[in-house]
A and B are shown apart, each in its own frame.
Chain A
Amino acid sequence: MSESTIAEVHGETLMAASMQKDPDAWFERKFKEHMEKHEQSIIPSLSIVVTKGSLDWAYPPFILASSAAALGWEVDLFFTFYGLSLLKKDLDLSITPMGNTAMPMKMPFGPNWFQNINWNIPNALSTNIPGFDKMATSLMQKTISNNGVASIEELRELSIEAGVKMIACQMTVELFGWDRADFIPEVDDWVGAASFLPTAKDSDVTLFI
């Protein structure tokens, strides 16, 4: 009899003895061991329904997706309605202070005291100045770039590189009269809500943004 066989037989004998002595404690210990192994083998998953396509709202889904992917999670993003524009080849995202009451209007240049001023511009003024939204967008982009924050294009590329699944809502494409050729080729699937819901149901975390 080899040494390993002797050890195996010895182990089984000990286990049988332990089981006979206190079966409840033995079962509890074994169950705990199995559960720990099972929990370690589970890969967490995240599903996000992405519904908004403005510059500010594009950040949360891509930041969460790329961060989760960096942790080794499985991530599915379902782009629907205005969120679908985040999958376009040419991203032309903009931002507006209209209705965004919490959005600070700060200048990304000049000395610190100047950059810290919050320019509370009344809606009546911002709506009447032509190109105000374009200016707000470029100021926000400059602030993002100055702080070394990754752009939306980069976050999207990062997410794709990290294996995040990009799922597009087929109904929205038809509804808005878009063409599949307008979108990046990395879109994994074109489906409807009914096809995405089972994925969301099985995810550990499901978010709507």
Chain B
Amino acid sequence: MSINHIIAMQGKDITIDCSKSAKQEFSRLNSPVYLQMELLFSCMVTKRVVQVSEKHCSLQVQLNNSVFLSFRPIRTNVCAPHGVDIHEHDEVEVIDIEEPERFIPDWLYIDYCKNVWCGEFGYSRKSKK
């Protein structure tokens, strides 16, 4: 089961690369996996790739038979305290950004470490590690 190298999200191409461990895990999947690229506007602008439960995000594409990818740019009402899950924090209100398609990244790197889906995404090929 392979992942398309370039996918289109809202008309914008995203180049996808996967680590060896991610590829191995993809081949073992027997239930759908929903990965999300999350862009957080706070005191800093941070990015992370996380696995989410089945969510119907407006920007979602299917990478293969069992992997779905979504993109969600958000902001918070207060600066997110370091090291806490903002989605599970009482004082942090997560607000979706209007017109999220303006922030769709150019590349995505999917990894699987210590039984957790993770990765990176970015906006210029040069800035990729």
Q: Do these two chains interact?
A: yes
List residues of A whose CB falls within 8 A of some B CB: 59, 63, 66-67, 69-72, 145, 147-151, 153-155, 157-158, 161-163
| CB nearest to B38 among chain A residues | A148
| CB nearest to A68 among chain B residues | B41
- Give complex CA distance A50, B124 in Å: 22
- Give complex CA distance A71, B99 in Å: 9
List the B side residues contacting A69 at CB < 8 Å.
102
Identify A149's interface contact among B46, B97, B103, B126, CB under 8 A. Answer: B46
Q: Is the CB of A63 within 8 A of B44?
A: yes
Main secondary structure of the interface of B (DSSP, over half): mixed
List the A side residues contacting B120 at CB < 8 Å.
148
Q: Is the CB of A163 within 8 A of B102?
A: yes
- Give complex CA distance A163, B102 in Å: 9
Contact with A along B33-44 (1 / 0, CB 8 A): 000000001011
Q: Is the CB of A151 within 8 A of B127?
A: yes
Q: Is the CB of A157 within 8 A of B123?
A: yes
Q: Is the CB of B123 within 8 A of A67?
A: no
List the B side residues contacting A154 at CB < 8 Å.
45, 122-124, 127
| CB nearest to B12 among chain A residues | A161
- Give complex CA distance A67, B120 in Å: 20
Answer whether residue B75 sits at the interface, using C-beta atoms and an 8 A cutoff.
yes
Identify B127's interface contact among A63, A72, A153, CB under 8 A. Answer: A153
- Give complex CA distance A58, B105 in Å: 21
**Could you name 9 residue pairs across A and B whose Cβ atoms are closer than 8 Å?**
A148-B47, A150-B45, A150-B46, A150-B122, A150-B123, A153-B126, A154-B127, A158-B123, A161-B102
Answer whether residue B129 sits at the interface, using C-beta atoms and an 8 A cutoff.
yes
- Give complex CA distance A155, B40 in Å: 12
Known A149-B46, A154-B122, A162-B103; judge A70-B127 contact (CB<8 A). Answer: no
Q: Is the CB of A67 within 8 A of B103?
A: no
- Closest chain-A Cβ to B111's Cβ sits at a distance in Å of 13
